[in-house]
Homo-oligomer: A and B are copies of this chain.
Amino acid sequence: MTTIDTRARQAVKAMATLTYKPGKPIKDVQRRYKLSSVIKLASNENALGPSPKAVAALRKTTGQLHRYPDAACAELKAKLAKRLKVNASQIAVGNGSDELLVLALRAFVEPGDEVVVAEPTFLIYALQARASGAKVMRVPLNNLRYDLPLMRAVVSKHTKLVFIANPDNPTGSYVTKRELEEFLRGLPEQVVVVVDEAYYEFVDAKDYPQTVSYVNRAPVIVTRSFSKAYGLAGLRIGYCIARPSLIAALEAVREPFNVNRLAQDAAVAALDDRAFLERTRRMIRQGRAYLGLELAQLGLRVVPSVANFLLVELGPKASQAAQALLRRGVIVREMSAWKLDGFVRVTIGTMPENRRFIQALKEVVG
Contacts and interface: CB of A to CB of B under 8 A. Distances in A.
A35 interface: no
A145 to B, nearest CB: 26
A107 B67 contact: no
Given A65-B266, A68-B23, A234-B64, A111 B110 contact: yes
A73 to B, nearest CB: 12
Interface stretch (A42-50, A136-144, A150-158, A299-307): A42-50
Contact of A246 (B5, B43, B71): B5
B63 A49 contact: yes
B234 A262 contact: yes
B248 A234 contact: no
Contacts of A6: 245
B20 A110 contact: no
Interface string A104-125: 0011111100000000000010
B248 A1 contact: yes
Interface in A218-273: 219, 227, 231-236, 243-249, 251-253, 255-263, 266
Interface stretch (A8-16, A166-174, A284-292): A8-16
A260 B251 CA distance: 21
Contacts of A70: 25
A36 interface: no
A7 B248 contact: no
A281 B262 CA distance: 26
Interface stretch (A92-100, A200-208, A351-359): A92-100
A344 to B, nearest CB: 18
A131 interface: yes
Counting every copy of the chain, the complex holds 2
Contact of A68 (B45, B66, B131): B45
A295 interface: no
A223 to B, nearest CB: 13
A192 interface: yes
Interface stretch (A52-60, A78-86, A176-184, A317-325): A52-60
Nearest to A5: B245
A190 interface: yes
Nearest to A3: B245
A4 interface: yes
B49 A12 contact: no
A261 B249 contact: no
A102 B235 CA distance: 21
A232 B65 contact: yes
A128 interface: yes
A261 B6 CA distance: 32
5 contacts: A8-B249, A16-B248, A22-B71, A96-B257, A128-B255
Closest 8 CB pairs of A and B: A234-B261, A66-B231, A5-B245, A50-B65, A8-B249, A65-B234, A2-B248, A2-B244
Given A2-B245, A22-B257, A47-B66, 11 more contacts: A3-B245, A5-B192, A7-B249, A8-B107, A12-B108, A13-B249, A65-B234, A66-B231, A66-B233, A66-B234, A96-B257
Interface of A: 1-10, 12-13, 15-16, 18-20, 22-23, 25, 40, 43, 45-50, 54-55, 58-59, 62-71, 89, 95-96, 98-99, 102, 106-111, 124, 128, 131-133, 160, 189-192, 219, 227, 231-236, 243-249, 251-253, 255-263, 266
